[in-house]
Amino acid sequence: MVWDIWVRMGHWLVVLLIGFQVYSGEDMALRDRHAWAGIALLVWVVFRIGWGFWGTRHARFADFVGSPRRIIESFKKLGRRQHEAVPGHTHAGGAGVIVLMALIALMAVTGLFASDDLMFDGPLSHFVGSANSSLITQVHHITSKVLILTVLGHVLAIFWHQRLMKEPLIQGMIHGRKAGGHERFGTAVLVRGGLWLLLATLVVVAGLMRVGQFQ
Ligand code: HEM
Ligand code: HEM
């Protein structure tokens, strides 16, 4: 195995939630749900950062974050369709993962301070005042476009691997197995991940409930 259950469930949940965010961002009637789905994405970011340090082997940042030189080399190999014998993310893929995580974090955090100037104020917008909130809402808008473009790049890269290089990465993200991956995940991983997810949820939600203003 390469990807534990938390990485896989997290990934497909993120796909659904981002899809919902892009759909609901434009719809005033869905503002509340948009806010809660955004907070769920923030929980995922916190969870995934922690899992990047004390998660399973290939989920760790140390396994896939490379120096700029290695990232460029890895992109060059991808362009030449040269297979890289690494079970986890390649350095190019790892760079993509970090950018995606950072953009999702930026979306979730700016959302908390955003306002549509009509019906909805983000739960932390009262901390910054209406002028700053408008500015932050602009950042929320612009970042959403950058996120959508990055997701397109990500999906394109996956199809490049999948179709042109005949590497079954999508199946890997479903059942967890990839060539060269020999990890075994027992109940300990299930429990450790579950406890950490619970803690991340409690900290984010309780923190926001304490300092935020929810209408
Ligand atoms: C909103 C859309 C998406 C986002 C935000 C997203 C984000 C991510 C992230 C953060 C990872 C790293 C997972 C981790 O290490 O925890 C990842 C990996 C991956 N994603 Fe996505 N993803 C999206 C859509 C898709 C779609 C539509 C597919 C398939 C068609 C896909 C296939 C994959 C695969 C196969 C990997 C693992 C790559 C590898 O083996 O190194 N993703 N994605
Ligand atoms: C990763 C999480 C999030 C994503 C991907 C996301 C995405 C989006 C998108 C695509 C839009 C429409 C932008 C446009 O029309 O150009 C939007 C608008 C908006 N979002 Fe989010 N959002 C996220 C989190 C949040 C959170 C946590 C909140 C509040 C708690 C929030 C509050 C808002 C508001 C108030 C608007 C409307 C702004 C306006 O009318 O100008 N978002 N979001």
Determine whether the shortest distance from the Cβ of 89 to ligand 1 is under 6 A.
Answer: yes
- pLDDT digits 0-9 by tens, 92-136: 999 999 999 999 999 999 999 999 988 899 999 999 999 999 999
Residue 215 reports pLDDT greater than 90: no
Residue 14 reports pLDDT greater than 80: yes
| pLDDT score, position 117 | 87
The domain ranges of the chain are 5-211
Is this prediction's pTM over 0.95? yes
Q: Residue 175 is which amino acid?
A: H
**What CATH fold (topology level) applies to the domain 5-211?**
Fumarate Reductase Cytochrome B subunit (1.20.950)
| pLDDT score, position 155 | 98
Q: Whose CA is nearest to atom 5 of ligand 1?
A: 15
Taking CA atoms, 100 is separated from 42, 55, 107, 163, in Å, by: 13, 19, 11, 22
Average pLDDT over residues 45-71: 98
Structure tokens at 167: 């590497």
Q: Which atom of ligand 1 is closest in space to residue 159's alpha carbon?
A: 30
> Helices (DSSP H) in the chain: which residue ranges?
5-24, 31-54, 61-64, 68-79, 91-113, 129-159, 169-175, 187-211
Determine the angle formed by the axes of helices 91-113 and 129-159, rounding to 10 degrees.
Answer: 150
| pLDDT score, position 65 | 98
Ligand 1: which of 9, 11, 156, 183 to mutate, most ligand atoms within 8 Å of CB? 11
- pLDDT digits 0-9 by tens, 187-198: 999 999 999 999
CA 29 from centroid of its chain's CA atoms: 25
